[in-house]
Structure 1
Amino acid sequence: MEIQAKKKFGQNFISDENLINKIINILGDDSNQLIIEIGPGTGALTQKLVNKFDKVVAIEIDEDMESILRSKISSENFIFVLSDVLEVNFKELIQKEKSNDNQKVSIISNMPYYITSEILFRTFEINDLLDKAVFMMQKEVAVRLCANKGENNYNNLSVAAEFYADKKYEFTVSKGMFRPIPKVDSAIISLTFKNNNIVLVDDSKKFVSFVRKLFNNKRKTILNNLSTITANKEIASEILDKIGLDKSKRPEVIGMNEFINLYNEFSKIK
């Protein structure tokens, strides 16, 4: 019996075996990993994950999928969690399911388009617990996330991803690979987490929030955007002078080190 995808959950199922293998291979060859899959659907990806890795935790909001998944997968290393992913306490879940402190933890998901940003930023928040994330998302979002300074699509999401991880646009997935067929193509991206940048600021969440505000109006100069945050153009000008940043630059041409220096100098005036 064919399973009908539910629009309210943003479901689009993939079944192409070659594509599934290609996605899973991005997670690497270390089978001793805890894998968290968000939105397993009918389990095409899940079954192969269970066969390859030590433990797979599948988080699914659609209760109709539970019986389907349990009928397909009976392995002891498969854990099913019926929940809205936005309500899951990932820290508690990982601490509970990790077999030891050295075990790598990776997240994988064919992300529902309507909560892509929420899942991304929740993933960033637990970056210190993760080794890697492999996400399928709308192609245009993937392009923005993987953009570098000076590129047209570079924005606050690009900076946030680079702040927390080494980001990589893996490959494009044609919309024809899904059932039902969505209106747009998708892409696979990977994030390999690191803490190089995190140790350079006092609060990573505040840093990301600060950068988001600087991109509120990309057409404005960094001086004008910073003036909006400080509510004082003179103070904004002094901050930029102290770090030697050209006041006429726009956010899309500013790099990671400059954003970090700008945030740290801004933090001193609070």
Structure 2
Amino acid sequence: MKEIVTSSRTRDIIRKHRFTFKKSLGQNFLIDGHVLDQIIEAAGLDESRGALEIGPGIGSLTEQLAKAAGKVTAVEIDRRLIPILQEVMSPYENVSIVQGDILKTDLKQLWQDQFASCEGVSVVANLPYYVTTPIIMKLLEEKLPLENIVVMVQKEVAQRMAANPGGKDFGSLSIAVQYYCEPQLVCIVPGKAFIPAPNVDSAVIKLKRRLEPAVSVPDEAKFFHVVQTAFSQRRKTLANNLSAFSGKERKGELSELLLQIGIQPERRAETLSLDEFARVSEALTKSGMMN
């Protein structure tokens, strides 16, 4: 039987089950086997490792994960897809289908239930555009024992995750991802690789989990609060945005504090490295400007 990823098999499954796409769920099914091959290669799976898939659709990626990994758990929010997935994945004993919203799922419990015997686990998924960032942040912030996150996302989002300081793509998402991971763009995927075809290009990005965060900070919550505040109005200078902490009456003191740690107050947030943000966060905390 043809693989699910082929256009003809995908259309056959859709027709057989009279499936209709829901725009609200961002459903686009991949029909390009070459892209799947690159995703699987980037994930670095083997029989000792597990894969968590988010939003499997009708199972084109799930099928390839089942061949590459020892254990696959696919979490699907759309109840209509569960019987389809159970049918097409029936030849693979190492696949579990879970119905649920990944953003409401207890991931630590899922890990215990599904991946206790695995030497390592990676998240491998074609993520819906509308929830890409919340899902990525949930995976990172819960500090799961992840090896890699290999996901297909909107091209512009992938570029922001991998961006270097100094460009327009560099922002709070870049810093959050790079604090926890080493990003690598795998490939660009045109709209014609999907049914139905989206109006924008996608990209596959690999986020290799760091053993330790990229920079050492005494308080992660304060570090990310500083980052978010610094980027709150991109056209404003660092000193202007960070005056949210100092208040206007202490703005001169804030500028002097930035100069003391080697950062010009008139710089903009997108020019600062992770290390520089760590220095700013620590300085603001020690000064008492951050409670």
Cα separation, 1, equivalents of 2:45 and 2:260:
47
Cα separation, 2, equivalents of 1:244 and 1:137:
37
SS of structure 1 residue aligned to 2:43: coil
Q: Give the C-alpha shift of residue 30 in structure 1.
A: 3.4
Equivalent residues in 2 for 1:21-36, closer than 5 Å:
21-36=37-52
Structure 2 gaps, min length 5: 1-11
- Verify the 8 A CA contact 2:38 2:186 in the aligned structure 1: no
- Verify the 8 A CA contact 2:215 2:275 in the aligned structure 1: no
Q: Out of 239, 242, 247, which is 1:226 matched to?
A: 242
Cα separation, 2, equivalents of 1:131 and 1:170:
16
- For the pair 1:149 / 2:165, whether they are aligned, the reply is yes
SS of structure 2 residue aligned to 1:64: helix
Q: Give the C-alpha shift of residue 241 in structure 1.
A: 3.0
- For the pair 1:256 / 2:274, whether they are aligned, the reply is yes
TM-score, normalization: structure 2? 0.87
Cα separation, 2, equivalents of 1:182 and 1:128:
31
Q: Which has the larger radius of gyration?
A: 2
Tell me which moved more, 52-61 or 229-238.
Answer: 229-238
Indicate the residue corresponding to 2:116 in structure 1: 99
Q: Out of 184, 195, 212, which is 1:179 matched to?
A: 195
Tell me which moved more, 33-42 or 231-240.
Answer: 231-240
Q: Give the C-alpha shift of residue 235 in structure 1.
A: 4.0
Cα separation, 1, equivalents of 2:136 and 2:125:
11
Amino acid at match of 2:81: M
- Verify the 8 A CA contact 2:178 2:214 in the aligned structure 1: no
Cα separation, 2, equivalents of 1:70 and 1:130:
26
- For the pair 1:78 / 2:95, whether they are aligned, the reply is yes
- Verify the 8 A CA contact 1:128 1:193 in the aligned structure 2: no
Amino acid at match of 2:31: S
SS of structure 2 residue aligned to 1:56: strand
Cα separation, 1, equivalents of 2:257 and 2:136:
30
Count residues in correspondence: 269
Indicate the residue corresponding to 2:146 in structure 1: 130
Q: Give the C-alpha shift of residue 25 in structure 1.
A: 0.9
Amino acid at match of 2:276: E
Indicate the residue corresponding to 2:208 in structure 1: 192
Q: C-alpha deviations, 1:137-156, integer Å up to 9, x for none?
A: 11111111111001121111
Cα separation, 1, equivalents of 2:138 and 2:224:
12
- Verify the 8 A CA contact 1:33 1:55 in the aligned structure 2: yes
- Verify the 8 A CA contact 1:26 1:134 in the aligned structure 2: yes
The percentage of counterpart residues that share the same residue type is 36
Q: Out of 97, 107, 128, which is 1:90 matched to?
A: 107
Cα separation, 2, equivalents of 1:41 and 1:26:
21
TM-score, normalization: structure 1? 0.93
Indicate the residue corresponding to 2:258 in structure 1: 240
- Verify the 8 A CA contact 2:215 2:278 in the aligned structure 1: no
Q: C-alpha deviations, 1:186-237, integer Å up to 9, x for none?
A: 0111100114336712333442232111101111111111112332413422
- Verify the 8 A CA contact 2:108 2:144 in the aligned structure 1: no
Structure 1 runs of 4+ aligned residues shifted over 6 Å read none
Q: Give the C-alpha shift of residue 44 in structure 1.
A: 0.5
Q: Give the C-alpha shift of residue 42 in structure 1.
A: 0.2
